[in-house]
Chains A and B, each alone.
Chain A
Amino acid sequence: MSDQTLTVATTTPWASARSRLAGLGAEARAAARDPAFLAVGILLTGLVLVFTVLPIGTVLIRSLQPKEGMFTWENFLEFFSRRAYYRALINSLILSTASMVLVTTTGFVMAYLCTRGPRVLRGPLTFISLLPFVAPPFAFSVALIILGGRRGFVTQLLGLNVSIYGWPGVLLVQVVSFLPIAFLLIENVLVSLDPSLEDAADDLGARPERILRTVTIPLAWPGTLKAALLVFILAIADFGNPMIIGGGMSLLATDAYSLAVGEQNLRMASVLSVFLVIPSLFLFVIHRYLLRETRVTTITGNLASSQSRRSSPIILIPMLAVAAVVGLVILALFGVIFVGAFTEAIGVRNRFTLAHFVSQFGLQYLWTSIKMALSAGLLAAVGGIVLAYILERKRIPGRGAVEFLALLGLSVPGTVLGLGYLLAFHNPPLALTGTLLIMVLNTGFRELPAAMEAGMSKLRQLDVALEEASADLGVGPVGTFLKVVIPNIGSAFMAGLIYAFMTGMITVSAIAFLVSPGANLASIYILQLAEMGYLGEGCAVSVMLILIVFICVVGLKWIARRTGFDIIRGR
């Protein structure tokens, strides 16, 4: 047994903000001594302003312009006067809230079982909870149509007359799609809870149910709340699933798209986007800045404590029932994607075929996707890591603001950024619509925050003394960055690159506004196939995307194992 106890305390954001303010003058002087990085910092900030802030700003401005040159609330009055518009807002809020509750509950159940449940089930349940991560989220919608759609497999088998389209379908698919992220966050919380607290409760006579209610849940609450807020943001921004399985239900993200692309009503599309941005940004700020509680985690390296985490049947049986249902649904949907990809038409002509894979468009668009995602990944990784270095190490005034603006790419729903690009880059000087470049820029700047965060967290673990030693030995700032910093945070760069590539392969929400017949992507193609009812080919393209994502995840796991840096878990 080990007797050392390590106490890690993080400072409050307020304290660090105060000290930052106090140091502004000194920072400006220090930055002036480092002109190369000051220049790069200004350049990157400029790019973030143009490619992240400008499009969002354009959407906001457009929402206030009933006509060119006018600024009034007229559009918003129109929004609230027509049920067809404001219903989207109400539906979106209800859907996201419901999804948040369901996903968080399911995530908590799975995480609880994986940390305190029967030992033999922990591995399989973790696997199932993370499995949806490798699939493009909307692939589950395609699978659900095959299973439960109007001509669906299960529907016909049971002679059911209920429709999976609309609320039930979207909710079900969102639970499956967002389970991995909720699971990861909550599991992280449950693992890091000091086991001696639950032991102490047990020791004082509390039965497992009571421990769960009075110790485990209250202590896991802040972390669980963070997971819940993130799920809400993801759910309200979700575009692909409602498109495929929403059955025409009115939601902000999908309606904004239909208004913009279908009816060319950019004005109302912008208004809807504003209502998408407000809750997302609000919750994002809470999530990131207000819930960053001063957490004192006591890590006691005690071999003996591992055995004592246990639970009782009264808790485990209902939880296992939930896990069984969720697990079966996930496995069924996954199975259907694979079977559907190799079957002529599931439930109609159950014959093996490879035809879905060799369709000309599928492979062509997949190739475009790879080119696009790889370029966007490089942009995100290079930009993100350099920006991370400047923000974390160079005492440049306004760092907090730059970081926040860069993070907008992550926090603002894709629909808004898609519409923003459409509005901002349609006309000169930056007439980019219809090109591959606009998709690269859009995806790149949406993924840049992930790489930036990866870089910053890696840099925080890297002792500044290394850089000081390099400077001390006569190497300049740029040389130090290339020779000392990059080799040591290379894992964050690679992880950022792979992660951005992977996300770029399966993104739909923003890109849907930007694709053109000449430059179409595999992920969008699945959407189009599903709309036209070519489900087999939809499954086949999904399978190819799943394989690519799977390879990426394996790569990320490899990096995590070799360097201890896990971008998916964010630590």
Chain B
Amino acid sequence: MGDTVLELVDVTKRFGAVAAVAGASGAVHGGELVTFLGPSGCGKTTLLRLVGGFLEADGGSILLEGKPLHGVPPHRRDTAMVFQNYALFPHLSVADNVAYGLKARRLPRGEITARVEELLKTVQLEGFGERRPHQLSGGQQQRVALARALSIQPKVLLLDEPLSNLDAALRVAMRAEIRRLQTALHLTVILVTHDQEEAISMSDRIAIMRHGRFEQVGSPLDVYESPATEFVATFIGRVNLIPGRLSPGPEPSHATFDTWFGTLTLRAPASPLGGSSNSSEVRAVIRPERVLLALPREPLPRNTFRGEVAESTYTGQVVRYTVLLQGKPLRVDAWDPVRVGRFPEGSAVAVQFPEALHLLPAEG
């Protein structure tokens, strides 16, 4: 990972009484793809527009390669944006769209032509230069928008929900395409999206936003497996939050976790909860696919409990179960239903939990 390219220090932006961005701080390193992920209204697009210079922050500062951007209009910032609706100039050809920023920089004509050709090649649109934007498909328009943004060799490329206007299949293909370009050209990219799958599959790091702040910044694996807060845990993926009491176990390397359906033996969890000799109230973050279902047989293995299937939904690659443990529901996903077999509703099952669980402090 390279040096810090972009730094956000306590950035704030208000619209009237509403603080759209309320003290966001963080850094983007050279050559990495960082995603701002969050629900509608979390301030992710506002923050991106602040970086692009389309909005001016009310407080805090944005530094590009160490230099503050305050008061610098978009046309003098080394950032380039791919707009959600692409914002291709309808009165210009594809080539002229891509050349727009180069012409504004008064590059020699020959150099512009060569650069445009090269860029169109990069996004696999050779031979499309003379077309008008409305003659292209959505995916092609997206590529033109990318080429146009890349033309000015931005220090940071800003992508505002770039895939939201594409159909599902194309979206998946474009994810890989953008990722390929980003790694090949060693681009520093900020991506804004509300699509968690997109964020997880494309990003080096994800910044989960809520109420105008970063709730957690980390690798996709981090935010999925070790969410810092309940919001992150529930926003990304499906989750069971199991409340219980954590106590030191009989062996120092283990702890016990008392839940409504019984006691789990855990490998000693890391701080902030570990190390304490007292017991504490916690919640375990358990993803549905981490729980195993089996036919019950005596004796039950370690961390395994009896349950009853209340609901089962077949979705193709996975069967989503709701299993009642002592009358309370637990979500369980079982993969590969053909090989594993399905448990009918009403049947008794054995539910096995892993020994390593990610823990959050109890509510309140």
Interface string of B4-44 (1 = CB under 8 A from A): 00000000000100001000000000000000000011000
Q: Which of A200-208, A346-354, A524-532 contacts B (4 or more CB under 8 A)?
A: A200-208
For the complex, give the distance between the alpha carbons of A308 and B83 in Å.
14
For the complex, give the distance between the alpha carbons of A497 and B334 in Å.
69
Query: Are A304 and B79 touching (Cβ within 8 A)?
Result: no
Chain B residue nearest to A2 (CB atoms) is: B40
Chain B residues with CB under 8 Å of A206's CB are: 75, 100-101, 104
Chain A residue nearest to B101 (CB atoms) is: A204
Chain B residues with CB under 8 Å of A305's CB are: 49, 54
Query: Are B40 and A203 touching (Cβ within 8 A)?
Result: no
**Known pairs A5-B165, A214-B100, A304-B55; A207 contacts B83 (CB<8 A):** no
B200 to chain A, nearest CB (A): 19
B16 to chain A, nearest CB (A): 10
A466 to chain B, nearest CB (A): 32
Q: Does B232 contact A (CB under 8 A)?
A: no
Query: Are A5 and B81 touching (Cβ within 8 A)?
Result: no
A-B contact count (CB 8 A): 103
Query: Are A199 and B90 touching (Cβ within 8 A)?
Result: no
**Known pairs A194-B87, A296-B134, A307-B55; A203 contacts B81 (CB<8 A):** yes
Q: Does B91 contact A (CB under 8 A)?
A: yes
Query: Are B104 and A194 touching (Cβ within 8 A)?
Result: no
Q: Does B85 contact A (CB under 8 A)?
A: yes
Q: Does B194 contact A (CB under 8 A)?
A: yes
Chain B residues with CB under 8 Å of A201's CB are: 75, 89, 100, 104
Q: Does A83 contact B (CB under 8 A)?
A: no
Chain A residues with CB under 8 Å of B148's CB are: 200, 204
Chain A residues with CB under 8 Å of B88's CB are: 200
Chain B residues with CB under 8 Å of A199's CB are: 52, 54, 74, 81, 83, 87
Query: Are B45 and A304 touching (Cβ within 8 A)?
Result: yes
Query: Are B161 and A202 touching (Cβ within 8 A)?
Result: no
Q: Does A22 contact B (CB under 8 A)?
A: no
For the complex, give the distance between the alpha carbons of A210 and B90 in Å.
17
Query: Are B83 and A3 touching (Cβ within 8 A)?
Result: no
Chain B residues with CB under 8 Å of A197's CB are: 87, 89
B357 to chain A, nearest CB (A): 35
The 8 Å CB contact of B83, one of A200, A218, A303, A307, is: A200
Query: Are B85 and A219 touching (Cβ within 8 A)?
Result: no
Q: Does B164 contact A (CB under 8 A)?
A: yes
For the complex, give the distance between the alpha carbons of A1 and B39 in Å.
10
Query: Are B84 and A204 touching (Cβ within 8 A)?
Result: no
Q: Does B318 contact A (CB under 8 A)?
A: no
Interface size on B, residues (CB 8 A): 41
For the complex, give the distance between the alpha carbons of A305 and B20 in Å.
13
Query: Are B45 and A302 touching (Cβ within 8 A)?
Result: yes
Q: Does B46 contact A (CB under 8 A)?
A: yes
Q: Which of B46, B75, B88 counts the most chain A CB atoms within 10 A?
A: B75
Interface string of B69-93 (1 = CB under 8 A from A): 0000111110111011101111100
Chain B residues with CB under 8 Å of A307's CB are: 54-56
Query: Are B84 and A218 touching (Cβ within 8 A)?
Result: no
* A window 180-217: CB within 8 A of B: 194, 196-197, 199-207, 210, 214-215
Query: Are B54 and A308 touching (Cβ within 8 A)?
Result: yes
For the complex, give the distance between the alpha carbons of A200 and B160 in Å.
12
Query: Are B104 and A207 touching (Cβ within 8 A)?
Result: yes
Chain B residue nearest to A5 (CB atoms) is: B85
The 8 Å CB contact of B84, one of A5, A215, A219, is: A5
Q: Which of A2, A200, A214, A296 counts the most chain B CB atoms within 10 A?
A: A200
* B window 167-203: CB within 8 A of A: 194
Query: Are B81 and A200 touching (Cβ within 8 A)?
Result: yes
Chain B residues with CB under 8 Å of A296's CB are: 90, 134
The 8 Å CB contact of A205, one of B41, B45, B101, is: B101
Chain A residues with CB under 8 Å of B55's CB are: 304, 307-308
For the complex, give the distance between the alpha carbons of A250 and B134 in Å.
49
For the complex, give the distance between the alpha carbons of A307 and B15 in Å.
10
A515 to chain B, nearest CB (A): 50
Chain A residues with CB under 8 Å of B149's CB are: 203-204
* A window 82-122: CB within 8 A of B: none
Query: Are B75 and A196 touching (Cβ within 8 A)?
Result: no
Query: Are A194 and B85 touching (Cβ within 8 A)?
Result: yes
**Known pairs A204-B104, A204-B148, A205-B75; A304 contacts B85 (CB<8 A):** no
Query: Are A205 and B104 touching (Cβ within 8 A)?
Result: yes
Chain B residues with CB under 8 Å of A196's CB are: 83-85, 87
Q: Does B265 contact A (CB under 8 A)?
A: no
For the complex, give the distance between the alpha carbons of A203 and B15 in Å.
22
Q: Which of A197, A200, A204, A206 counts the most chain B CB atoms within 10 A?
A: A204
Query: Are A308 and B87 touching (Cβ within 8 A)?
Result: no
Chain A residues with CB under 8 Å of B41's CB are: 1
Q: Does B292 contact A (CB under 8 A)?
A: no
For the complex, give the distance between the alpha carbons of A5 and B89 in Å.
17
Chain B residues with CB under 8 Å of A218's CB are: 91
The 8 Å CB contact of B52, one of A3, A194, A203, A215, is: A203
B109 to chain A, nearest CB (A): 16
Q: Does B291 contact A (CB under 8 A)?
A: no
* A window 261-309: CB within 8 A of B: 296, 298, 300, 302-305, 307-308
Chain A residues with CB under 8 Å of B56's CB are: 307
**Known pairs A3-B161, A296-B134, A307-B55; A215 contacts B45 (CB<8 A):** no
B83 to chain A, nearest CB (A): 5
A66 to chain B, nearest CB (A): 52
Q: Which of B45, B88, B152 counts the most chain A CB atoms within 10 A?
A: B45
Chain A residues with CB under 8 Å of B81's CB are: 199-200, 203
For the complex, give the distance between the alpha carbons of A2 and B45 in Å.
10
**Known pairs A203-B81, A204-B152; A3 contacts B40 (CB<8 A):** yes
Interface string of A51-76 (1 = CB under 8 A from B): 00000000000000000000000000
Q: Does B339 contact A (CB under 8 A)?
A: no
Query: Are B164 and A3 touching (Cβ within 8 A)?
Result: yes
Chain B residues with CB under 8 Å of A219's CB are: 89-91
For the complex, give the distance between the alpha carbons of A199 and B84 in Å.
12
Q: Which of A215, A298, A304 counts the most chain B CB atoms within 10 A?
A: A304
For the complex, give the distance between the alpha carbons of A210 and B102 in Å.
13
* B window 56-74: CB within 8 A of A: 56, 73-74
* A window 209-262: CB within 8 A of B: 210, 214-215, 218-219
A197 to chain B, nearest CB (A): 5
For the complex, give the distance between the alpha carbons of A253 and B84 in Å.
53
Chain B residues with CB under 8 Å of A202's CB are: 53-54, 73-75
Chain B residues with CB under 8 Å of A304's CB are: 20, 45-46, 49, 54-55
Q: Which of A1, A202, A205, A298 counts the most chain B CB atoms within 10 A?
A: A205
Q: Does B328 contact A (CB under 8 A)?
A: no
Q: Does B297 contact A (CB under 8 A)?
A: no
Query: Are A204 and B151 touching (Cβ within 8 A)?
Result: yes
Chain B residues with CB under 8 Å of A200's CB are: 81, 83, 87-89, 148
A-B contact pairs, 13 of them (CB 8 A): A1-B41, A5-B84, A197-B87, A199-B52, A200-B88, A201-B104, A203-B75, A203-B80, A204-B75, A206-B100, A206-B104, A214-B100, A304-B45
Q: Which residues of A pack against B, CB within 8 Å?
A: 1-3, 5, 194, 196-197, 199-207, 210, 214-215, 218-219, 296, 298, 300, 302-305, 307-308
- Given contacts A200-B148, A296-B90, could you give 14 more A-B pairs where the C-beta distance is less than 8 Å? A3-B40, A3-B161, A5-B165, A200-B83, A200-B87, A204-B75, A206-B104, A218-B91, A219-B91, A304-B45, A304-B46, A304-B55, A308-B49, A308-B55
Q: Which residues of B pack against A, CB within 8 Å?
A: 15, 20, 40-41, 45-46, 49, 52-56, 73-77, 79-81, 83-85, 87-91, 100-101, 104-105, 134, 148-149, 151-152, 161, 164-165, 194
Q: Which 4 A-B pairs have the closest CB atoms?
A: A204-B101, A196-B87, A200-B87, A202-B74
